[in-house]
Amino acid sequence: MSSGVSLLNSSDNRLPDPSDGPADGPVAIGGDLSPDLLIEAYNKGIFPWFSDDDGPLLWWSPDPRAVLLLEDFKPSKSLRRLMRRGRFRVTFDQAFSEVVSACAEPRSNSTETWITPNMQRAYRTLYDLELGHSVECWEEDELVGGLYGISLGAMFFGESMFSKVSNASKVALARLVEQLLQWRFTVLDCQVMNQHLRSLGAIDIPRNQFLSLLSENRRHATRAGRWDLHAENA
């Protein structure tokens, strides 16, 4: 076992403080995808990420951490124009399972997915507990984009997004950010940086800074209930 990596077992199924864990490897191995352990993970700045339901669970807390600071979100002029035109209709929590299934489909450059069947079931359970939420982007009656994640306190922990039509996921994200700001949320956790996230305004911050944000976040109550908003144009 590598230095700083915890091995979870049935008698001590607790995740470690990730402060001194590996920067680019798992901080823990094992455990399960129970709601209690997933909630503990997000509160500690840890998330599951693996590609094989037959192997052990891998728990990560990368350093640096990709985040979107909501007050700093600045949609591009082209995205603002697209939203004003009203091509897409955006809803919340209307098709969670469908969004997760779409996000689980392999990308064009890969035949694998980390959103395994067990992962899908686990996040659907969090949706049933009203901690998991989805944003859907529709073109007429077709689901063409969206994202899903977990809400705790004043932070939204994004898990994955998809687009079947150009810019659909960007519209879903922009509409989510608008609503989160109205609800006085502060941070959208993006986990690991990529070019798409960077183009949307995500930045990398040191892990210890992210853990400090989490500590502050525990002072905020989690928004209860479904985000069952009336459909709105975007």
The residue among 163, 121, 105, 122 whose CA lies nearest residue 36 is 122
- What is the dihedral sign for C-alpha 40, 42, 46, 50? positive
Give residue 231's pLDDT band: very low, low, confident or very high (50, 70, 90): very low
The amino acid present at 82, given as its one-letter code, is L
Structure-token pair, residue 181: 């700001």
The residue among 147, 217, 148, 159 whose CA lies nearest residue 190 is 159
* Average pLDDT for the chain: 91
Give residue 66's pLDDT band: very low, low, confident or very high (50, 70, 90): very high
3-state secondary structure 53-78: CCCCCEEECCCCEEEEEHHHCCCCHH
pLDDT at 217: 97
Q: Does residue 18 contact residue 211 with C-beta atoms inside 8 Å? A: yes
What's the chain's length in residues?
234
CA–CA dist 69, 72 (Å, integer): 5
Q: What is the pLDDT of residues 180-209, one digit of tens each?
A: 999 999 999 999 999 988 988 999 999 999
User: Cβ–Cβ contacts within 10 Å for residue 225, how many?
Assistant: 7
Q: What is the pLDDT of residues 150-179, one digit of tens each?
A: 999 999 999 999 999 999 999 999 999 999
CATH architecture observed for domain 66-233: 3-Layer(aba) Sandwich (3.40)
pLDDT at 8: 87
> Over pLDDT 70: what percentage of the chain?
92
Chain centroid to Cα 81, Å, comes to: 26
CATH architecture observed for domain 6-62: 2-Layer Sandwich (3.30)
**pTM (2 decimals)?**
0.92
Is residue 214's pLDDT more than 50? Answer: yes
Is residue 26's pLDDT more than 60? Answer: yes
Q: What is the pLDDT of residues 75-130, one digit of tens each?
A: 889 999 999 998 999 999 999 999 999 999 987 665 567 899 999 999 999 999 99
Q: Parse the chain into domains and list their residue ranges.
A: 6-62, 66-233
Higher pLDDT, residue 2 or 157: 157
